[in-house]
Structure 1
Amino acid sequence: MALHHLVPSEIVRLPSVASDEAKTAALVKTDAFEAMQLILRSGEEIAEHAVPGFVTIVCLEGSVTLDGATQVKLSAGEWMYLDRGEKHSVVAHEDSSLLVTIMFEKLLAVSS
């Protein structure tokens, strides 16, 4: 079964980490842009990795540490940006929900 990705103007309610429905989900994926809700349970880690685009991360709930060029603790309501290709890992200190967006080079070429 293929994942449902949102279409323009479609509204989605992002589930709370306390909800039984809370799971990592791709929201939008195009050649230029990707958005996902990332659910991490307390103590869960994502190993060091890098993505080819510019990344923004909003911590919706909980708290996580991102370890990359610098180590940053991100708590509910906080936003950060990573440069394209920046290596980083993530660890959750408590059940956490992140809204992650990635903007790829194709978006930059279109807007120029």
Structure 2
Amino acid sequence: MALSHVTSGQPISLAPPAATLASVPTSALFKTDQLEVIRVVLPAGKAFPPHQVAGDITVQCLSGAIEFTIGEAHDERSVVLSAGELLYLDGGVRHGLRGQTDAVVLVSIVLRPHV
């Protein structure tokens, strides 16, 4: 069952209980003309392949730990994000992520680049 988008002023739990993590899907929490916020659930070893988005992003690790790769294959670097850490990335930069442990991250994407 897909999570419906939250509405303005509606609270939502960001971190599902660890016991149910494997059954919780990654889902967009909300999307406006300027911003999309996604809760990404990454079991240990699962990966999102390298990709890029036009707008700036933030990635906040809510629980667990992820390996976040940045850059092109010939010039790629990795950083580890643990619970409580946040990473900012310019729009258009290639990146990927992999769960080092079972993890939940909050990704915010600016949909309209800076003017």
Q: Tell me the TM-score range normalised by the shorter chain.
A: 0.7 to 0.9
Q: Provide the residue aligned with 1:8 in structure 2.
A: 8
> What is aligned with 2:79?
72
Distance change in 2, residues 1:91/1:61 (3 Å): same
Say whether residues 1:47 and 2:49 are aligned partners.
yes
Q: Tell me the residue number matched to 1:33.
A: 35
What letter corresponds to residue 18 of structure 1 in structure 2? A
One-letter amino acid of the counterpart of residue 77, structure 1: G
**Runs of 5+ consecutive residues of structure 1 not aligned to the other structure:** none
Report runs of 4+ in structure 1 exceeding 3 Å deviation.
Answer: none
Alignment partners' CA distance in 1, 2:85 and 2:107? 12
Alignment identity in percent? 34
State the aligned residue count.
108
What TM-score does the superposition give when structure 1 sets the normalisation length?
A: 0.86
The 1:2/1:45 distance shift into structure 2, 3 A limit, reads closer
User: Does residue 97 in structure 1 map to residue 99 in structure 2?
Assistant: no
